[in-house]
Chain A
Amino acid sequence: MRAYILAFITAILLAGCIGSTVTSVDKNGGNVYVLPLAVVDRMLLGAMSAEIPRGELSRGATAYPSYRGDVTWGIDTDTITAVAKPAVGRKLDGSDVEGYVFEVSHYGTAPIVGSPTAKRIHAKLQADAELTGTGAAFIRFK
């Protein structure tokens, strides 16, 4: 009986898992930021640690820079992942350049805190990226 209850609760929790991604590029365009790998890595770490204690952050399993950490709401948890995806952009003179696009996603059972946290982290990343003045028009991901 206990196993059935546990399975039922797990099923409910799994069914309750939702997520979304905040990104600055879509079919209408966006910006690629031409910055060194080490710089985008520090930008991600800085933006994530503004919301989640640095000791609770871990590197993502991607080949490109990424960090992940959890936020909780009661017994529910959302995992926040911030990544700098390699992409190709186009300068005003028409030539192509390689850079990064920042994306922040959340997934879990606490979207009530995960969603606004992801938005704040992305806003911080985007604000920093714009200040660098290195944006180029997004063409495609690498």
Chain B
Amino acid sequence: MQLNEMFRAVNPCFALSPASSDRGILQYAVCRGLLALFMMFFAGQSLAEGTPLSVRYGQVTGIEVTTKESAMARNALIGGAIGVLIDDSFSGAIGGATAGFLVTAIVEGDRRVYLYSLALNDGGVVDVAVARPDLAIGHCAALEQDGSHNNLRPVSAVHCEKKGTEQHEDHRLEIAQKCKTARDQLAAGGSAQDIDRALHDMRAYCD
């Protein structure tokens, strides 16, 4: 294949570029502009999809049973039942205004929300509102975050007693990544087999 033919193959606007005509040049310019916008859009998409996943550990230092509305009004952590539905822009706004507060998986039908205060290993403190009632003061918990998803789950006290080994960190990160992959698959749909596998993985890795 000649170089010229290769260029035509990868540049769909090339067909509109008869240099001899002003109209053709204009069409070519518009086409290139649209192509650039198209590429920027997809580049942005892939960047958004690549939001890094983080896992932090902390000891539960306080528990309060409250309502989602109360937690939000007190600027206390808003996580999300709503997890995936928090837009990036909105998530950023919350992050700025209520640093350290996340709201995750709130069962509004129940109306009860468990607001856990976590003393993180890195010295920070974060309040997380979730529906799960199975954490107690002194328990060690993992706070998994990736973009708009937040997950809080009990883990071995080893993670809070001292800085976890690299192997432990990798293990938890791998689980969190599998949880995210399963959720992404469910959001996208797919074949019955894919969905069943994703549901199975979600139960295994997200709970």
Q: How far is the CA of A134 from the CA of B185 in the complex (A)?
A: 13
Question: Any chain A CB within 8 A of the CB of B84?
Answer: yes
Question: Any chain A CB within 8 A of the CB of B107?
Answer: yes
Question: Any chain A CB within 8 A of the CB of B119?
Answer: no
In the complex, how many angstroms separate the beta carbon of B97 from the nearest chain A beta carbon?
Answer: 13
A133 to B109, Cβ gap below 8 A?
Answer: no
Q: Which of B88-140 contact A (CB under 8 A)?
A: 90, 94, 104-109, 111, 131
Question: Any chain B CB within 8 A of the CB of A74?
Answer: no
A39 to B189, Cβ gap below 8 A?
Answer: yes
Interface size class of A (residues with CB under 8 A): 20 to 34
Q: Which of A2-45 contact B (CB under 8 A)?
A: 23-26, 28-31, 34-39, 42-43
User: Which residue of B has the minimal Cβ distance to A89?
Assistant: B85
Question: Any chain B CB within 8 A of the CB of A93?
Answer: yes
Residues of A within 8 A of B189 (CB): 36-39
In this complex, the member of A23, A24, A38 whose beta carbon has the largest number of chain B beta carbons within 10 angstroms is A38
In this complex, the member of A26, A42, A43 whose beta carbon has the largest number of chain B beta carbons within 10 angstroms is A42
A25 to B86, Cβ gap below 8 A?
Answer: no
Q: A35-B186, A134-B84 are in contact. List 8 more A-B contacts (CB 8 A).
A: A24-B109, A38-B192, A39-B189, A93-B90, A131-B105, A132-B186, A133-B183, A135-B105
Number of interface residues of B (CB under 8 A): 35
A28 to B190, Cβ gap below 8 A?
Answer: no
Q: Given A36-B188, A38-B189, A92-B85, A25–B109 Cβ distance below 8 Å?
A: yes
Residues of B within 8 A of A138 (CB): 108
A46 to B199, Cβ gap below 8 A?
Answer: yes
Q: Which of B151-196 contact A (CB under 8 A)?
A: 151, 183, 186-190, 192, 195-196
Q: How far is the CA of A43 from the CA of B189 in the complex (A)?
A: 12
Q: How far is the CA of A136 from the CA of B195 in the complex (A)?
A: 21
In this complex, the member of A24, A34, A126, A133 whose beta carbon has the largest number of chain B beta carbons within 10 angstroms is A133
Partner of B83, one of A23, A26, A30, A135: A135
Partner of A43, one of B86, B90, B187, B199: B199
Question: Any chain B CB within 8 A of the CB of A54?
Answer: no
A93 to B86, Cβ gap below 8 A?
Answer: yes
Question: Any chain A CB within 8 A of the CB of B53?
Answer: no
Question: Any chain B CB within 8 A of the CB of A113?
Answer: no
Question: Any chain B CB within 8 A of the CB of A91?
Answer: yes
Q: How far is the CA of A92 from the CA of B108 in the complex (A)?
A: 13
Q: How far is the CA of A43 from the CA of B80 in the complex (A)?
A: 21
Q: How far is the CA of A30 from the CA of B109 in the complex (A)?
A: 4
Q: How far is the CA of A103 from the CA of B188 in the complex (A)?
A: 23
Residues of A within 8 A of B187 (CB): 35-36, 132, 134
In the complex, how many angstroms separate the beta carbon of B128 from the nearest chain A beta carbon?
Answer: 14
Q: How far is the CA of A43 from the CA of B90 in the complex (A)?
A: 30
In the complex, how many angstroms separate the beta carbon of B43 from the nearest chain A beta carbon?
Answer: 24
B183 to A31, Cβ gap below 8 A?
Answer: no
27 contacts between A and B (CB under 8 A): A24-B109, A28-B109, A31-B81, A34-B84, A36-B186, A36-B188, A37-B189, A38-B190, A38-B195, A39-B189, A42-B192, A42-B196, A91-B82, A91-B85, A92-B82, A92-B85, A93-B90, A128-B199, A130-B107, A130-B131, A131-B203, A132-B202, A133-B105, A133-B151, A134-B84, A135-B80, A138-B108
